Amino acid sequence: MLSRTAANLFWMARYLERSETTARLLDLGFRNALLPNTGGGFRTEWSAILQSKGVLQPFTEKYGELKQRNVESFLFFDQDNPSSVASCITAARENARIVRTALTSQVWDAINTSFQELKALTRRERSSLEVPDLTDWTLRTAALIRGAIETTQLRNDGYRFMNLGYAVERADNTARLLDVKYYVLLPSVAYIGSGLDNYQWTTLLRALSAHRAYNWAYGGELSAAQIAHFLILNPKFPRSLLSCCIEVNEHLDHLARIYDRSTPAQEAARTLLGELAEARIDDVFDEGLHEFLTRMISENAGLGHCIQDQYLTGEAR
């Protein structure tokens, strides 16, 4: 497969996953903004959400006031924000269009339909669009596209590059969502174990579509250690860092067999997997959850760059 084709498939998947995560962050901010604060007003966590995406400064420069409606527009519709839902779906559709012959008609139709529906949403009166409706539409669209990929795409190298994109992006997003809760949202350590703390953990699990799965795995008792273990080290949860790393390794191993050569990307992925597979949650908290997640985000980004260098630049691979 030409490396430019592989790159389009890889980034198509990354943009699709990124659009879903932006919607999940929007949902997380919306739910937390409903919670009364200790001063009798209502808490606003929008700065934390924007900070987690690295877009607080461009938002402030463009909109100034940190109002919910402004954040909704910036995170969902604003094409000047490269991580908005609209920007990500547009970029994913463009990558898909370029390599349309590498996609089944069902996958292309699902992506193109989502793009057309997005354009229809942008023409509607914003006051008629509520955050839950926007996030539900995004998650439903992402699920339809992923379902089309899983049920119709040939398990060839193109399929592997798409799923590499999904897994690398998902690991980054899970780490960022968890870091928002632990490091940014809680006002002080005095609130640990409080009703506010438990509410925020619950909204985080719901934003990750993980609340019921967590209850199945841990019996419903909320604790920072158990939720961190679930989102970082539980191989049964598909969005955990360990699950994403396992998936990256599986697809890189398949590519090594297809192309009959190993790459530094495999070694980098195996090193990261080895660390996560051997880690205990006590080790994570000993390092500091924020520090651990920051390091994981950096190492995952490095792995993405390594995949880019080994497979997605140059000519045929």
CA–CA gap between residue 97 and residue 68 (Å, rounded): 34
| Number of domains present in the structure of the chain | 1
**C-alpha closest to that of 116 among 151, 79, 141:** 141
Structure tokens at 276: 């996560």
- The pLDDT of 275-282, averaged and rounded, is 95
- Quick check: is 316 in a domain? no
- Quick check: is 127 in a domain? yes
**Count of beta carbons in the 10 Å neighbourhood of residue 23:** 25
- Quick check: is 250 in a domain? yes
- The pLDDT of 251-267, averaged and rounded, is 93
Buried b (16+ CB within 10 A) or exposed e, 57-78: ebbeeeeeeeeeebbbbbbbbb
Cα separation values, 76 from 7, 73, 145, Å? 25, 5, 19
Beta strands in the chain (DSSP E): none
- Quick check: is 87 in a domain? yes
Phi-psi region at 260: left, alpha or beta (left = phi > 0; alpha = psi -120 to 50): left
CA–CA gap between residue 268 and residue 249 (Å, rounded): 9
CA–CA gap between residue 93 and residue 110 (Å, rounded): 10
Q: How confident is the model at residue 40 (pLDDT cuts 50, 70, 90)?
A: very low
Give pLDDT tens digits for 163-209: 999 999 999 999 988 887 765 555 555 556 666 777 778 888 988 88
- Quick check: is 264 in a domain? yes
- Quick check: is 77 in a domain? yes
- Quick check: is 317 in a domain? no
302, pLDDT greater than 50: yes
- Quick check: is 42 in a domain? yes
Give pLDDT tens digits for 101-157: 999 999 999 999 999 999 999 988 877 789 999 999 999 999 999 999 999 999 999
Q: Residue 135, SS3?
A: helix
CA–CA gap between residue 175 and residue 210 (Å, rounded): 14
Give pLDDT tens digits for 288-297: 888 999 999 9
Structure tokens at 277: 């597979």
**C-alpha closest to that of 215 among 204, 195, 230, 203:** 230
Q: Give the domain range for residue 160.
A: 3-311
